[in-house]
Amino acid sequence: GCQVSKEPCKQTQALTSYSNEGTQMTVEIHPKDTTPQLFKKHSFGKGPRRLPRLRGQDNKGFQRTEAPRPPGKKDLHAYPWDKSSLKSMPVDLQQFEKLDAYALKVNVKNSVEELVKALLKQARTDLEKVRAIWMWICHHIEYDVVGYHNKSQLSSKPIDVLQMGKSICEGYAGLFEHMCSIAGIQCMKLSGHSKGNGYKMGQTFTGDSDHTWNAVYLDGRWHLLDSTWGSGAVDDSFTKFTFRYNEFYFLTHPALFINNHFPDNSNWQLLKPTLTLKDFENNMLHNSNFYMLGLLTAHPETAVIQTVNGKASVSVDCLSATLFTFKLKGTDEHGLMTLKKHGMKLDLYPQKTGSHKLQIFAKPSKASDVYNCVLEYVVECKSVDKAMRFPKDLHQPVGPSWFTERQGFLRPSHLDPIIHTNDGRCSVTFTLGKDISVLASLHCDSSSLTEDMGRRHIMQIHRGNQIELKIHLPHAGNFVLKIYARKKSDPGNYDYVFNYLITCLNTEVKWPAFPQSYSKWVEDYEILEPLSSLLPANRNVQFKLKMHGIAKVLVQAENAYPLTQSRGYWEGTCNTSGCREVFVMVHENANHSFYSHVLKYEVESQ
């Protein structure tokens, strides 16, 4: 499907075509004043000996390459990907730093030969020659969005592409092939179907091929690359191109390249076994971000996911700690994402039937980078699970993880993102890292739970470096337990760390809030009784509090009732007759004449 331009022949060219049966026919064209010569050349390192090349001389003395051989057994890589490398040969990018910087600065536009000559000044090996050509094209040729829409204005001749500084894929691949040819590197222009701009998940590919890329011959094997996609990207409306260099498409491992490049001639997949067009259509599209972020695999491997009883699940495996987020039809409300040490798991519960677009985003854990879209699925929902409607306040990801561990929340009692309680009570414990102060609040979609009351349904109990969050739910339903932290040494605001989903189906549940505490109530004090902020009227109520470093404790109702100290606890009773509120007050120093309020209770109306 590649066209040969009808330029007058000035230099030795080798035109090679392959029939579907794999028969090879090579036609050599020589200018009158040249004679073909055979010569041998050894590749760098300990690689296999290079095939002899045909050499023709033009006026500038560049070597010409012989007819490229078709791919054979030794070019093939195993499919599926073995997760060993993103490249099809060992490449040390650090060794390219000087060469890359040099190639970017080369500024020659008058002839392709002069450009190659300038680029090769710093390139010794064939790999370095290919790298210099690749870097130059990726940073100097922009995608011609106007020409794409109006092909009559377009020329894909290498000299025109060079001088215009823009082209479409045919021009990129043609210039690459021509420059490699001048540099004495075997190179092929390949065409086929691609999952590029405008690709819709699950679409079928018919008719002519829509994209062109290259194969280069290095170290005795064929390798694949795509300089069009290496150079940048076009916006969704296909009106603006942005240079954004993408290393992924340089010598890409064929088992990854097949993800979005399907050559017309299946031999150029360089895979064993080869994939069918149907395989290509059905396979999940992993874009370059997916692999560049160190992600390895995603499940399911099909682009369309059917829900089962209103639920669909996706998981991703990766090499190192990575942060994820997602959007299902533009929102992250209808799922539970949990972070794993080497990946993430996502359970989705769409609240409407039909087709939903799912996007999954990721970023490295230490980077302040933005999230990049790494996966797209279509979720087909046949039935809705109404019980799994989550509160709006639920943040993704849910539950503890390596991330919360880094924030100082160690050894969580509950590893799952959901805590189920039948009687409306539960308790979550952690070992805290040094110097951490915790704030927790409870949220649900009903407006009855104010922010202040949301905090009052949680009681913190500290024992050494252990923290227990005791939770009493005000009613049945789905709740979010949000956990915030700050350094004690840093008196700034609390930062959100993570959350749990707490569910209770028991409609009998109706726990009152814990007593209101004041600033003098110290972190490691503890209430043993009464836990409810609402005390019965006209009753004797037993008090038991754990407090230290205090001279006296008084319970102030209609009358004052002193508590007595015994084995670290302050105990006693108080009568609630004739009052609406009860306060616990402490005398911090026997020499002081005033008491400080630490707790407040309400008394039920009579």
Using CA atoms, how far apart are residues 503 and 420, in angstroms rounded to an integer? 5
- Using the structure block, give the residue that is written with the tokens 């045909």: 54
Amino acid at 231: S
User: Cβ distance 70 to 215 under 8 Å?
Assistant: no
Amino acid at 13: Q
CA nearest neighbour of 347 among 397, 288, 391: 397
- Is residue 169 annotated as part of the catalytic site, yes or no? yes
Catalytic residue among 140, 211, 223, 472: 211
289, β-bridge pairs:
none
Using CA atoms, how far apart are residues 580 and 585, in angstroms rounded to an integer? 16
**DSSP run (H or E) holding 402:** helix 402-406
Decide the pairing of beta strands 534-535 and 596-603: parallel
Using CA atoms, how far apart are residues 196 and 253, in angstroms rounded to an integer? 18
- Is residue 444 annotated as part of the catalytic site, yes or no? no
Catalytic residue among 138, 169, 318, 444: 169
- Is residue 138 annotated as part of the catalytic site, yes or no? no
Q: Which residues contact 401 (CB under 8 A, 6 or more apart)?
A: 338, 339, 340, 498
Catalytic residue among 75, 126, 226, 332: 226
Residue 99 DSSP SS3: helix
CA nearest neighbour of 402 among 491, 480, 338: 338
Q: Which residues contact 171 (CB under 8 A, 6 or more apart)?
A: 141, 144, 154, 155, 156, 158, 160, 161
Q: In 3-state terms, the chain is what percent helix, strand and coil (to 5)?
A: 20, 35, 45
Q: What's the token pair of residue 300?
A: 């399911």
Amino acid at 237: S
Residue 571 DSSP SS3: strand
Catalytic residues: 169, 211, 226
